[in-house]
Structure 1
Amino acid sequence: MESFPRNSRVAVVTGAGKKRVGQVVARALAERGYALALHYRESRRDAEAFRDECAAAGITTELFQADLADTSSVDRMFDQILDRFGRIDVLVTAAAIWIPTPLESLKADDVIRHFQVNAMGTFWCCYRAGLAMINQREGGVIITIGDWAVKRPYLNYAAYFLSKGCIPTLTRTLAVELAHRNPAVRVNCILPGPVMMPENLAEHERIEAIKSTLLKREGRPEHVAAAVLFLIDNDYVTGISLPVEGGRLLS
């Protein structure tokens, strides 16, 4: 494996295996000159295809597998990332699970699994990256991905919204904790709206989601990526949750 220049910038993106928001964010960071440490859980083939695409464009890219529900797996991943790159400048937590389940069918294990991945998994990734960043003179930037609809949850996603509701709180908490140790470390959250709706979503639900925005159009993952870049660039913003949802909260 070729050596990596220790003064180069490194971005870690979780949930970058599948062709969803994480990959779009990673591509935007690569265009800014970041080397990429990309996390995946099961989508190895898709992750390898994306890595090869990045490598063909001259972007230093490494893949790291982990189950975010298992803190020891997360620890192993971050140990590997730091061993390979020596630093972390940006972390974007795009990994999440969302499994629609009617309330009457919900099991305790369903709720626990969502919390393990979406809440604890996100926190432990931020924790490990934050501990690395506070020891860097330049600090670093952590950007969590929440969900606008924690303020207006919809049916059949009780476990998901319970777990995602933790993200703004852990963002504010870590903004305080990490800045206390190194004021150059910032932590912010993005709350996406309908920027990449599930492929299996019923057409009437997709239309309703679009109609419920003020802008009357579907967003794109690139809108989230643009918000990530804004939160990296503006070094006087920390501890916020930024909605990227076309005005859906107001409509």
Structure 2
Amino acid sequence: MSDTFDGETAIVTGASRGIGSGIATKLAEQGASVVVNYRSSERQAESVVDEIEDRGGEAVAVQADVSDRDDVAAMVEATVDRFGSLDVMVNNAGMTTLGPAADIDVEDWRRVIEVDLTGVFIGCQAAGRQMQSQADGGAIVNVSSMMGEMGFHMRAPYCAAKAGVINLTRTLAVEWAEDDISVNALAPGFIQTDITDQTQDSAGYTDDDIRRRTPMARYGTVEEMANCVSFLARGDTYVTGEVLRADGGWTSDAWRYREDRA
């Protein structure tokens, strides 16, 4: 195990599966005590905790709806009661809805915004207040998306929310720099997870479509995203207010669709 986060405590929201579980596991491997947040999948969250503990780490599963201010405040309080501090906050929990913008129900729009943008703000605010009270700095990493910087067919609420996360990140980085709290964002591209598998058909793309369009010609992995968050959460980089794109080169390239990658 690495000692990068030795003696520190991290909360990872939406950590019961996918990218969140990978981040939680990585931070624990590097010495952090980790709160594995979940909303409804307790069994999966406990499985992540078991995996961390089997590897010699320390973790606990805590239920909270990230869009509920009281839930998040209680989670931060429980974290400090259990581990003594909150040093790293990773706002990863998110959701999406797919459909033509003209047909999206306003309640579906609101739910995506509540979780993917308001939930990130609530998490940042609760963590920021705790870190300020500790007067020892800290790190916040918000998981946005490359879709927060471009338009994507059938994903209007998600793109809007993730764009908001990017500028929220920059704003909080400026406000909290004097408290030695870094605030950065990760903007993943297409990452291979079970969620990707569930939405792929309804979104109308195939594995080959992603491979042809991405300069690196593949999906990203959960492990790679966890490595990115680990870097952004470190306190020795002089990095704040940044958006780290981890998209295999997607946003750096003009439109491509290479038939020779079929």
Partner deviation per Cα, 1:39-79 (whole Å, 9 max, x = no partner) = 10011111111112222222211111111222222122222
Aligned to 2:228: 227
Structure 1 segments unaligned to the other structure (5+ residues): 1-6
In the alignment, structure 1 residue 156 sits paired with structure 2 residue 154: yes
TM (norm. structure 2) is 0.87
Q: How does 1:126-145 map to 2 (within 5 A)?
A: 126-145=124-143
3-state SS of paired residue (1:135): helix
Aligned to 1:91: 89
Runs of 4+ in 1 over 6 A off after TM superposition: none
TM-superposed deviation, 1:17:
1.1
TM-superposed deviation, 1:250:
2.2
What is the root-mean-square deviation in Å for CA atoms of aligned residues? 1.7
Q: Aligned pairs, how many?
A: 242
2:51 corresponds, among 50, 53, 57, to: 53
Name the aligned partner's letter for residue 219 of structure 1: G
Aligned to 2:116: 118
Q: How does 1:15-26 map to 2 (within 5 A)?
A: 15-18=14-17, 20-26=18-24
TM-superposed deviation, 1:137:
4.2
Aligned to 1:4: none
Name the stretch that deviates more: 187-196 or 80-89.
Answer: 80-89
- 8 Å Cα contact 2:20/2:92 also seen in 1: yes
- 8 Å Cα contact 1:21/1:196 also seen in 2: no
3-state SS of paired residue (2:252): coil
- 8 Å Cα contact 2:150/2:159 also seen in 1: no
Aligned to 1:247: 249
3-state SS of paired residue (2:130): helix
- Rounded to whole Å, the distance in 1 between the matches of 2:158 and 2:136 is 35
TM-superposed deviation, 1:105:
2.4
- 8 Å Cα contact 1:148/1:192 also seen in 2: yes
Aligned to 1:8: 7
- Rounded to whole Å, the distance in 1 between the matches of 2:252 and 2:173 is 27
- 8 Å Cα contact 2:29/2:55 also seen in 1: no
- Rounded to whole Å, the distance in 2 between the matches of 1:56 and 1:235 is 30
Name the aligned partner's letter for residue 35 of structure 2: A
Name the aligned partner's letter for residue 11 of structure 1: A
3-state SS of paired residue (1:129): helix
- Rounded to whole Å, the distance in 2 between the matches of 1:168 and 1:247 is 18
1:195 corresponds, among 170, 191, 194, to: 191
- Rounded to whole Å, the distance in 2 between the matches of 1:236 and 1:224 is 20
- Rounded to whole Å, the distance in 2 between the matches of 1:138 and 1:125 is 18
Partner deviation per Cα, 1:17-57 (whole Å, 9 max, x = no partner) = 12x00111111111111011111001111111111222222
- 8 Å Cα contact 1:69/1:113 also seen in 2: no
- Rounded to whole Å, the distance in 1 between the matches of 2:205 and 2:229 is 30
3-state SS of paired residue (1:62): strand
Structure 2 segments unaligned to the other structure (5+ residues): 1-5, 254-262
Aligned to 1:215: 216
Name the aligned partner's letter for residue 184 of structure 2: N
Name the stretch that deviates more: 39-48 or 81-90.
Answer: 81-90
Relative to its length, the structure with more helix (as a share) is 2
